[in-house]
């Protein structure tokens, strides 16, 4: 396993991290989820990413149970706050001082730990003053409940404002967690440039584009049984927009490129993400232990300029690069 610094901080994380969005507590049964966590540990993954909202808190509980008994100092455990949890009352969401304070305490109980290594703002909260949010995060760090603070899907302007407040309040804002893959590159121009300047690293999700970049979805064929596109508990809605014939036919052109590199298509997609030096870790999920093992093999596999150019040519204009789309994932009003 390869390890990288998270932004300009001294914290190192595994280049492949294990995430349980859409799996633990929903798509995958608890026993199978624990086997996937064990497989992650066996291949040298030390970084685990979750969120309180995943399966309405169940994902955190399953991860906490799966990691019980492991040496805590050898793990980096990440979680997030913002989206509705519990009964979803008016204060069960957002980045207010009240919700952050209550959420970190509940997350620590579910994760069976006295601190998380990284606590992340799952989105930007337009309904709460940024000063209030950052002051609450400063308190979480000073109380020893989190070592570092990160954000997810923030715009360059939001990153700058948040970073300035973090410096003023003397706590480390070190990461951003955006969607990033061969087909979705909207962070490359402005977010990555700003992050490099500020010492912020990317922990990216969806490196294989919800499974589309594995090549398992093919033009004119029904989605494979058990795939995310058939998941009626919520997974299908996230992948549907990518199942266009033009996208799938372009993705199919990646197969010979992956073969020439001695990689599967999924491994090629993960190696491509890690070729960006501002990416500290690529979050991969799994429904089976063998998927975890296969994903981990992408770490430490550099891609040549010729291979990167061939990927660009294969995908053509199916790649989304519009920097104006950054930040669109943050609701303008709080969700309840």
Cβ-contact 123, 152 below 8 angstroms: yes
Beta strands, E only, 64-216: 76-81, 116-121, 146-151, 173-176, 201-204
**Residue with the two structure tokens 């104006």:** 324
Residue 49 bridge partners (DSSP): 19, 78
Burial label, 73 (beta-carbon count in 10 A; 0-12, 13-18, 19+): exposed
Start-to-end Cα distance in the chain: 40
How would you classify the pairing of strands 3-5 and 12-14?
A: antiparallel
Q: How far apart are CA 273 and CA 284, in angstroms?
A: 12
Closest CA to 213 of 163, 245, 241, 250: 250
User: Cα dist. 87→31, 93, 285 in Å?
Assistant: 26, 10, 27
Residue 227 bridge partners (DSSP): none
How would you classify the pairing of strands 201-204 and 116-121?
A: unpaired
Residue of 18, 54, 82, 180 with catalytic role: 54
Would you call 217 a catalytic residue per the annotation? no
Closest CA to 219 of 185, 253, 268, 194: 253
Say how far residue 24 (Cα) sits from the centre of its chain.
Answer: 15
Closest CA to 170 of 138, 196, 146, 148: 138
Q: Six-digit token pair at 319?
A: 């790649």
Say how far residue 136 (Cα) sits from the centre of its chain.
Answer: 23
Length of the chain: 336
Q: Name the DSSP class of 269.
A: H
Residues tagged active-site? 54
């Amino acid at each position: 396993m390869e390890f990288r610094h998270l932004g300009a901080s001294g914290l190192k994380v595994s280049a492949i991290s294990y995430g349980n969005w859409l799996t633990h507590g929903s798509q995958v049964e608890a026993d199978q989820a624990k086997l996937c966590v064990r497989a992650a540990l066996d291949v040298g993954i030390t970084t685990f990413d979750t969120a309180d909202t995943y399966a309405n808190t169940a994902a955190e509980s399953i991860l906490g149970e799966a990691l019980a008994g492991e040496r805590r100092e050898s793990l980096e455990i990440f979680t997030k706050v913002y989206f509705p949890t519990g009964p979803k009352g008016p204060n069960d969401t957002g980045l207010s001082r009240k919700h952050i304070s209550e959420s970190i305490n509940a997350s620590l109980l579910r994760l069976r730990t006295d601190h998380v290594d990284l606590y992340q703002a799952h989105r930007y909260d337009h309904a709460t003053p940024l000063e209030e949010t950052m002051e609450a995060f400063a308190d979480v760090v000073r109380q020893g409940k989190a070592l570092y603070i990160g954000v997810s899907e923030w715009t360059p302007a939001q990153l700058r404002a948040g970073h300035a407040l973090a410096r003023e309040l003397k706590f480390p804002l070190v990461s951003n967690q955006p969607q990033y893959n061969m087909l979705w590159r909207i962070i490359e121009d402005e977010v990555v440039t700003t992050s490099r300047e500020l010492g912020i690293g990317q922990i990216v999700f969806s490196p294989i584009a919800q499974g589309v970049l594995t090549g398992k979805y093919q033009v004119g064929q029904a989605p494979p049984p058990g795939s995310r596109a058939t998941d009626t508990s919520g997974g299908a809605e996230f992948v549907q927009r990518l199942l266009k014939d033009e996208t799938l036919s372009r993705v199919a052109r990646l197969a010979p490129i992956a073969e020439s590199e001695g990689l599967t298509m999924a491994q090629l997609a993960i190696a491509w993400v890690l070729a960006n030096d501002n990416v500290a870790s690529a979050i991969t999920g799994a429904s089976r232990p063998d998927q975890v093992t296969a994903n981990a093999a992408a770490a430490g596999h550099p891609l040549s300029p010729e291979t990167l150019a061939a990927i660009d040519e294969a995908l053509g204009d199916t790649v989304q690069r519009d920097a104006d789309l950054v930040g669109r994932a943050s609701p303008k009003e709080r969700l309840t």
